[in-house]
Amino acid sequence: MYGSSMHWIAKKILFATITWFLAISISIIVIVLSPGDPAKMLLASFLQQGMPYEQAVRMVQAYLGFSPEEPWWSKWLRYFQGVVTGNLGTSISYRFSVTHVIANAIPWSAFFVSYSLSITLILGVLMGLTMTYYRERVLFVRSISSILTILNSVPNWILAAVFFVYLGVRWRLFPYSGPYSPDIQPEPSLQFILSVLHHYTLPVMVMVLASLPGWAFALSAMASAVIKEDYVIAAKARGLKSGRIITAYIAKNSILPIYANIALTFAWLLVGTVWIETQFNLPGLGSLLSVTTGARDYPVMIGVYVIIITVIVLGNLLTDITYGLIDPRARVGEA
């Protein structure tokens, strides 16, 4: 049994590794083949200034570290080698190492996503259990389902724009720009922490509302199946209190099968920060990708995609392995 499990896990890891390499390769190819090559744009700028062609090429080489005449496959190989060796080069825009630039952005995005996901999980579980336990109150359940369905159909960038304009700019209910107040020093103090939480109120609200329907509907579906089990019916027949039935019987057995999706959800929320961080002028991978894409900063763009792809692949892998260990039936036919 142990050997079979290890073989199954090894296959999952191998498949995830292959997927990671292919996804990184395709991302690099798409970036280097897309219009707006920074080397060619810089070369054109030097030529417009009357600089001789050969001198202009050498200037580009000295400034960017690569030649505008380099073929696409050579760029792909160079960037891919940098990804594998951990040397992503120097940012064209910031003139710092890509590793340094991304390292400064990751903690903000990780905080944003973790904060949002924690609230989403709590609300999703409560709403899913509520819809299931009070399913006989048709009007109540349909009202909640309708609201969740509407939220599920609205893209997060539209929610971000609406909240930014009305709750932020027009009504001034919450801060709408920056991660903390400009008059506060970024240091480990209670004042700084409270300022950060306050400034992230609107972005977190957007993220929670955008991802809440999926969790609520998933929990409701699982709870609807659990509530029909014999042990739940027996608990009701013994006269146990509703609160105990919900927490000890329904909630426990409904949450367990879907908790493995937390890692994957975290990964996809990280991708979803691009629009929200940009809208609210927040530091993080999303706003960094937006800025560097406009500047055609290939090294940073590739570095950000490497982080996002890695998190998604690891999230999928962790989800598969965790769910397979929880429910061995998921490994049937794959061992």
Tokens at 169, concatenated = 């700019």
Rounded (10°) angle between helices 98-133 and 138-153: 160
Q: Write out pLDDT tens, residues 132-176.
A: 888 888 899 999 999 999 999 998 889 999 999 999 999 999 999
d(CA 127, CA 139): 15
Kindly state the helix (H) or strand (E) to which residue 179 belongs, with its residue range: none
Residue 48, CA distances (Å) to 44, 51, 300 in order: 6, 7, 27
**pTM for this model (two decimals):** 0.86
In the DSSP assignment, the letter for residue 168 is: I
d(CA 148, CA 215): 10
Q: Write out pLDDT tens, residues 52-86.
A: 888 888 888 887 777 788 888 988 998 999 998 88
Please count the helices (runs of H) and the strands (runs of E) in the chain. 15, 0
Please list the helix, strand and coil fractions of the chain in percent, rounded to the nearest 5, in that order.
Answer: 75, 0, 20
Confidence of residue 332 (pLDDT cuts 50, 70, 90): very low
d(CA 182, CA 251): 43
Q: Which residues, listed in sequence order, are joined to residue 97 by a DSSP beta bridge?
A: 90
Where is pLDDT greater, at 9 or 170? 170
Q: Write out pLDDT tens, residues 224-278.
A: 888 888 888 888 788 878 778 777 778 877 877 676 677 778 877 887 788 899 9
